[in-house]
């Protein structure tokens, strides 16, 4: 609650001063002694009112700070009612003690019951105003926080949709496929039909799932096999995909496909060996493991899948990871369930 203006040093210095003056004038008006203002405004009673105002404000502020640190009841009404009662008790106790201290030591007699009622009533109202400021600030903060969280969530969804759209088009892969298709057709290669089938399988899946938030892992892995075959037609490293047993679950559309594509594009092509990519399930993650033979200026790291990491943040607190282990590089994508998603 440090953002509440009653905690600001300038407010803490000026507000009690003005409040004490107002209390002093109000008491004079109640006692029909307004003429005393012109005769002797800066009297002892004014300083007493200002001192009590400082005392009440700081006590109320400390109670609010302490209230924020305590465990509150589940019902807000009960918690705020408790704060109001405690504040009024403390305010009345401090004002009564201050009045007895001033009257006994300075004036030499005890205050009357009417004077105690007047002072306690006025300062109780001041304490109540502070509590109302605090409660209204709490509710306003709660409402604004919910609005900000909703706006942040909607912004993340828009960013995710943009990433999905960009990955769905994938112009680099599209033009590479078209160029390779022209070469295959010119050579009258019988594999042109197979090439077109694999290309259609990949792009049909990408476009048909562009509006979905989650897809089953089995569907993604099936298309991943077609993607590997498609890349084997292209002038890239010959690749092979090995899939271990994976339980049912969900991933973001295109997450596996994009990861496999980046792996192939960051690997130096070699005729002597093929790129073997292993996909397995480990502790709630899909682990994609391969032996890296990376290009000099294009390495696989977390920035390579930053769009996927941002999209996963919408659905789970688990974060995709990229790390090296012995001679292998591992990429882990969280496995999602319907209960964990916000869909």
- Same domain for 79 and 17: yes
Residue 157 inside a domain? The answer is no
- Same domain for 306 and 215: yes
Residue 156 inside a domain? The answer is no
Phi, psi of 301 (to 5 degrees): -145, -175
Structure tokens, 206: 């990408």
Average pLDDT over residues 63-84: 74
The SS3 call for residue 8 is coil
Split into its structural domains, the chain has a count of 2
Residue 72 inside a domain? The answer is yes
- Same domain for 309 and 186: yes
- Same domain for 198 and 146: no
Identify the CA nearest to 323 among candidates 297, 283, 287. 287
The answer to which of 106-115, 209-218, 256-265 has the lowest mean pLDDT is 106-115
pLDDT higher than 90, residue 96: no
Residue 211 inside a domain? The answer is yes
Identify the CA nearest to 98 among candidates 44, 61, 134, 33. 44
- Same domain for 227 and 78: no
Residue 73 inside a domain? The answer is yes
Residue 295 inside a domain? The answer is yes
SS3 labels along 259-323: HHHHHHHCECCCCCCCEEEEEEEECCEEEEEECCCECCCCCCCHHHHHHHHHHHHHHCCCCCEEE
Choosing from 151, 181, 214, the residue where a domain stops is 151
- Same domain for 182 and 133: no
Residue 46 inside a domain? The answer is yes
Residue 259, CA distances (Å) to 84, 220, 301, 306, 307 in order: 58, 12, 11, 11, 11
Q: What is the pLDDT of residues 32-45, one digit of tens each?
A: 665 655 555 556 77
- Same domain for 145 and 9: yes
Residue 104 inside a domain? The answer is yes
Choosing from 84, 118, 151, the residue where a domain stops is 151
Q: What is the pLDDT of residues 228-237, one digit of tens each?
A: 988 888 877 6
Q: Which residues pair with 250 in a beta bridge?
A: 216, 336
Which residues, including other chains, have CB under 8 Å from residue 259's CB and lie 6 or more apart? 288, 305, 308, 331, 333
Q: What is the mean pLDDT of the chain?
A: 82
- Same domain for 188 and 125: no
Supply the pTM of this predicted model: 0.54
- Same domain for 136 and 201: no
Residue 15, CA distances (Å) to 6, 9, 99, 130, 152 in order: 9, 10, 21, 11, 37
- Same domain for 116 and 189: no
Residue-number span of the structural domain to which 312 is assigned = 170-334
Residue 306, CA distances (Å) to 79, 261, 281, 285 in order: 44, 14, 22, 17
Do the Cβ atoms of 249 and 336 come closer than 8 Å? yes
Q: What is the pLDDT of residues 72-82, one digit of tens each?
A: 555 677 777 88
List the CATH number of the domain containing 224.
3.30.565
pLDDT at 39: 58
Which residues, including other chains, have CB under 8 Å from residue 103's CB and lie 6 or more apart? 109, 110, 111
- Same domain for 309 and 214: yes
- Same domain for 111 and 249: no
Do the Cβ atoms of 98 and 48 come closer than 8 Å? yes
Please state, in angstroms and rounded to a whole number, the distance separating the CA atoms of residues 43 and 45: 5
């Amino acid at each position: 609650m440090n953002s509440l203006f009653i905690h600001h040093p300038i407010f803490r210095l000026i507000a009690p001063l003005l409040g004490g003056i107002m209390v002093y004038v109000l008491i004079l008006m109640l006692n029909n002694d307004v003429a005393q203002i012109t005769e002797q405004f800066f009297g002892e009673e004014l300083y007493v009112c200002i001192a009590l105002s400082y005392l009440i404000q700081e006590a109320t502020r400390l109670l609010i700070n302490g209230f924020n640190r305590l465990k509150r009841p589940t019902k807000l009404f009960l918690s705020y009612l408790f704060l109001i009662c405690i504040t009024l008790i403390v305010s009345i106790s401090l004002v009564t003690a201050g009045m007895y201290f001033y009257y006994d030591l300075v004036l030499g007699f005890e205050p009357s019951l009417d004077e105690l009622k007047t002072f306690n009533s006025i300062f109780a109202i001041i304490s109540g105003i502070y509590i109302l400021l605090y409660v209204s600030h709490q509710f306003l903060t709660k409402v604004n926080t919910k609005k900000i969280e909703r706006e942040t969530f909607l912004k993340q969804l828009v960013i995710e949709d943009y990433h999905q759209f960009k990955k769905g088009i994938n112009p680099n892969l599209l033009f590479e496929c078209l160029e390779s298709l022209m070469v295959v057709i010119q050579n009258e290669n019988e594999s042109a039909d197979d090439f077109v089938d694999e290309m259609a399988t990949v792009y049909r899946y990408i476009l048909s799932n562009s509006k979905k938030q989650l897809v089953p892992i089995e569907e993604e892995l099936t298309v991943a096999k077609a993607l590997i075959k498609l890349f084997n037609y292209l002038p890239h490293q010959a690749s092979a995909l090995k899939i271990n047993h994976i339980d049912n679950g969900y991933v973001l559309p295109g997450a596996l496909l994009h990861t496999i594509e980046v792996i192939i594009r960051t690997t130096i092509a070699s005729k002597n060996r093929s790129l073997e990519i292993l996909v397995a399930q480990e502790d709630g993650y899909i682990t994609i493991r391969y032996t890296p033979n990376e290009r000099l200026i294009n390495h696989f790291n977390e920035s390579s899948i930053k769009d996927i990491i941002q999209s996963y943040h919408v659905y789970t607190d688990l974060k995709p990871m990229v790390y090296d282990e012995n001679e292998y590089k591992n990429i882990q994508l969280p496995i999602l369930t319907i209960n964990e998603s916000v869909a």
